Amino acid sequence: MNVHQTSGAGRASEAAAVMARWLIGALFIYMGLKKAMHPVEFLKLVRQYDLVHAPFLLNAIAGGLPWFEAFCGILLLTGVAVRGTALTLVAMLVPFTWVVLQRALALQALRAIPFCAVKFDCGCGAGEVFICGKLAENGTLILLSIWLLISKFGRSFSLRPVLFPTAEG
Amino acid sequence: MPNLKCKIGGILAEAVVIAVIGFAAALTANEVSPRGLALNRNYFPAGTNAAPAVPKPAPVFQNVAGTNSSTTNVPSDADDLSERLRDKGLQEIKRPQLEKLFHDPRTQEGRVIFVDARDEEHYADGHIPGAYELDPYHPENQIGTVLPVCQAAEEVIVYCTGGECEDADTAAIILRDAGLSNKKIFVYGGGFTEWHDNHLPLEAGERNSGQKPK
């Protein structure tokens, strides 16, 4: 335990950060493997975003991304390169949330329904979901990842929280 | 300040290492997985790699057991469907004609063939009686059986879930590319959902099992 964890508030923060790390890790493993087990379904969903047309790139994203998510989940769960993993998750979650939002807005305009009534399969691994719930979930994941990235908490029960010593100073 | 730069540099280096090792591991896992995608294969042939238009709101079909969740319950309208098939050089067949064909004696004689382009799980849950299975994402599993049967037939009807689902188009293109005459290939745009919703005959399990869906 580090010095900052010795106070009551520090211990509470540390416990909360570890729980957040485990929660995000478990969620990414679950969602990643769920998609990895049905790559064709995920391929069709990725294609619907109309961002990539080259077959190789489309297949690499649909075939690789779910396993990459699970890989990041394992790193967080076991506590390897916590800050680097948190940064990677933020780098994935922010653009992904943006494209989900754009698609939801397009669907809302087309169906002429309230924004929160928009429901579709965003390729997140949970099937069809209401957009407001999805955005709230992603927002929470982004905030928790940023917390793990910038704070020193959440390093207990970690195998190797820092790959390169300079990352923690 | 140099310490902060060092920290940021360290975190970025970690992220880069994770990205490189992670993607290498992910692509290897995809390669090793029996369900993995073949990276070099075009799963959406005939210029269909661009995504379909955002789904139209017309709730013509309802989601039912055995339909493909990824296609949602919002199919494109009939005009879009016809245009899509025309763009791919495919012919469409509507339900009334299909019902006639289904009851045509030629179907029993193997001169009219039905091909189900959904995956194994959905096929087993229920399909048009006598239909052959041809999963367009893993055609190597069934093409050896399906192609000779189709070549001997006069008309080949290919269907998937219906509406937005393009798997029937892809399966039809696979058959066409394998040498089957385009003149005898027809895509049933309404698909399994429309057939099911009209309480037409269904069969579960293997082909010609005679088993009723649950």
Question: Could you state, in order of their start, the residue ranges of all structural domains in chain A?
Answer: 8-156
Residue among A37, A47, A67 whose CB faces B51 most closely: A47
CB spacing of B23 vs A164 below 8 angstroms: no
Mutation test of the interface with chain A: which of B11, B20, B72, B123, choosing the one with the most A Cβ atoms within 10 A? B11
When pLDDT is averaged across residues A33-42 and rounded to a whole number, the result is 94
The pLDDT of residue B80: 84
For the cut 90, the answer to whether the pLDDT of residue A131 exceeds it is: yes
Task: Sort A101 into a burial class: Cβ within 10 Å, 0-12 / 13-18 / 19+.
Answer: middle
Structure tokens at A166: 């300079």
Residues A48-107 have pLDDT tens digits of 899 999 999 999 999 999 999 999 999 999 999 999 999 999 999 999 999 999 999 999
CB spacing of B13 vs A163 below 8 angstroms: yes
Burial A149-166 (b: 16+ CB within 10 A, else e): beebbbbbebeebbbeeb
The pLDDT of residue B105: 95
Residue with tokens 């106070």: A7
The pLDDT of residue A108: 95
Residue with tokens 């922010």: A94
Name residue B96's amino acid.
P
The pLDDT of residue A165: 74
3-state secondary structure of B91: strand
CATH 3.40.50.720, domain B69-197, yes or no: no
**Chain B residues with CB-CB distance to A37 below 8 A:** 35
CB spacing of B40 vs A59 below 8 angstroms: yes
CB spacing of A166 vs B12 below 8 angstroms: no
CB spacing of B54 vs A84 below 8 angstroms: no
Residues A132-146 have pLDDT tens digits of 999 999 999 999 999
The pLDDT of residue B205: 96
Pick from B101, B108, B173, B113: nearest CA to B148: B113
Structure tokens at B131: 């239909």
When pLDDT is averaged across residues A3-17 and rounded to a whole number, the result is 81
Nearby residues of A109 by Cβ (< 8 Å), 6 or more positions away:
none
The pLDDT of residue B45: 85
Nearby residues of B169 by Cβ (< 8 Å), 6 or more positions away:
B46, B48, B84, B85, B88, B90, B187
Alpha-carbon gap, residue A169 to B10, rounded angstroms: 9
Residue among B14, B15, B70 whose CB faces A41 most closely: B70
Nearest CA in chain A to B8: A167
pLDDT-based confidence at residue A6 (cuts at 50, 70, 90): low
When pLDDT is averaged across residues A40-48 and rounded to a whole number, the result is 93
How would you classify the pairing of strands A128-130 and A119-121? antiparallel
The pLDDT of residue B50: 57
B80 touches chain A (CB under 8 A): no
Structure tokens at B96: 């009334």
From A136's Cα to the closest Cα of chain B, the distance in A is 22
Give the predicted TM-score (pTM) of the model: 0.83
Q: What is the ipTM of this complex?
A: 0.89
CB spacing of B54 vs A106 below 8 angstroms: yes
**Domains of chain B: which residue ranges?**
1-40, 69-197
* Cβ under 8 Å to A: B residues 120-179: 137
The pLDDT of residue B59: 37
CB spacing of A87 vs B11 below 8 angstroms: yes
User: Do B56 and B76 form a contact (C-beta atoms < 8 A)?
Assistant: yes
Alpha-carbon gap, residue A93 to A103, rounded angstroms: 15
B207: phi then psi, degrees, rounded to nearest 5 = -60, 135
CB spacing of A53 vs B49 below 8 angstroms: yes
**pLDDT < 50: residue spans in chain B:** 56-76
